[in-house]
């Protein structure tokens, strides 16, 4: 019997799930991991703004089983909207906790995305830190758009080993679109779009200091590490998010889904 319930609220045009703890989220996933396939998104300011202007991307996010507030600003907005116990669910942290807790439940993990070298790194790290974890497969797909034949082969490989959780690290917005278009083609299991989670676990990308996380400045830490790739995403989208969410919170503008 499922005793857990995860509600959703609207932030701008997106539906965001409210979680009170990592343990609650893990238990909810285990209770709902039936024969039907599902997918989970990890949302932040960038994905929220992308969904605000891109109807197809919004449709993908809204079709998610759970849409987690991976970005600290989203959990702050949730608190401002009355959900005082809402917490930020960091993708890399949730992945590690699921690997740890999943040992006793014999959760079968599959990894889809990133470079082959990174996948080898994380498999070694996982076996060292979580020796009883059950990794049943990994695929490093091409960074370009997959052909229909390639995609069919990937899905067949996943279905063959029947995983409980498929960690998808293709980067946003590609991973959310891919999960939305393909989750019903799986026999079962939960796809989770983990973004840069593979790189964090492998040590390729460093976590921000705790004080920066507490002040919602993790984006600044990543910007310093990758300024050419991330400056537009963070500086432009963060400013736009602050402007739009202020209008929403002050009830000046109601952004209909």
Q: Looking at residue 4, what is its pLDDT? A: 59
Number of compact structural domains in the chain: 1
Give the span between the Cα atoms of 190 and 38, in whole angstroms: 5
Is 254 a member of any domain? no
Q: Tell me whether residue 34 is exposed, middle or buried, using C-beta atoms within 10 angstroms of its C-beta: 0 to 12, 13 to 18, 19 or more.
A: exposed
What is the CATH classification number for the domain harbouring 120? 3.40.50
Give the span between the Cα atoms of 169 and 107, in whole angstroms: 19
Is 210 a member of any domain? no
Give the span between the Cα atoms of 163 and 117, in whole angstroms: 22
| Runs of H (alpha helix) within the chain | 22-31, 45-53, 55-62, 72-80, 91-105, 116-129, 148-161, 174-182, 197-202, 210-214, 218-225, 227-231, 237-249
> In the chain, what are the helix, strand and coil shares in percent, each to the nearest 5?
50, 15, 35
Is 38 a member of any domain? yes
Counting as low any pLDDT under 70, the low residues of the chain are 1-4
Q: Looking at residue 205, what is its pLDDT? A: 81
Q: What number of residues does the chain have?
A: 257
Q: Looking at residue 85, what is its pLDDT? A: 85
Is 162 a member of any domain? yes
Q: Looking at residue 230, what is its pLDDT? A: 75
Give the span between the Cα atoms of 53 and 48, in whole angstroms: 9
Give the residue numbers spanning the domain of 172: 9-202
Q: Looking at residue 18, what is its pLDDT? A: 92
Quick: pLDDT tens for 2-49: 445 788 999 999 999 998 899 999 998 888 877 789 999 999 999 999
Give the span between the Cα atoms of 206 and 139, in whole angstroms: 23
> How far lies 111's CA from each of 96, 132, 156, 161, 196, in Å?
13, 17, 14, 12, 13
Is 250 a member of any domain? no
Is 245 a member of any domain? no
Is 207 a member of any domain? no
Is-cis flag, bond preceding 173, omega within 30?
A: yes
Q: Looking at residue 218, what is its pLDDT? A: 78
Is 55 a member of any domain? yes
Give me Rg for the CA atoms of the chain: 18
């Amino acid at each position: 019997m499922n005793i857990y319930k995860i509600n959703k609220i609207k932030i701008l045009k997106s539906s965001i799930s409210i979680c009170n703890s990592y343990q609650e989220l893990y238990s909810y996933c285990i209770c709902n991991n039936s024969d039907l396939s599902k997918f989970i998104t990890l949302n932040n300011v960038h994905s929220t703004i992308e969904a605000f202007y891109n109807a197809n991307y919004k449709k993908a996010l809204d079709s998610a089983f759970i849409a987690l507030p991976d970005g600290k600003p989203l959990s702050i907005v949730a608190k401002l909207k009355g959900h005082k116990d809402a917490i930020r669910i960091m993708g890399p942290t949730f992945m590690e906790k699921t690997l740890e807790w999943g040992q006793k439940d014999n959760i079968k993990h599959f990894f889809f995305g990133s470079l082959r070298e990174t996948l080898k790194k994380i498999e070694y790290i996982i076996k060292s830190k979580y020796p009883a974890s059950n990794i049943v497969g990994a695929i490093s797909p091409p960074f370009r758009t997959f052909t229909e034949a390639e995609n069919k082969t990937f899905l067949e490989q996943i279905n063959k080993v029947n995983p409980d959780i498929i960690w998808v690290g293709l980067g946003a917005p590609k991973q959310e679109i891919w999960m939305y278009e393909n989750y019903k083609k799986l026999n079962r299991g939960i796809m989770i779009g983990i973004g840069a989670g593979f790189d964090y676990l492998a040590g390729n990308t460093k976590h921000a200091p705790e004080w920066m996380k507490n002040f919602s400045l993790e984006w600044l830490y990543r910007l310093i590490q990758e300024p050419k790739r991330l400056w537009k995403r963070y500086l432009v989208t963060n400013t736009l998010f602050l402007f739009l969410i202020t209008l929403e919170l002050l009830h000046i503008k109601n952004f209909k889904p």
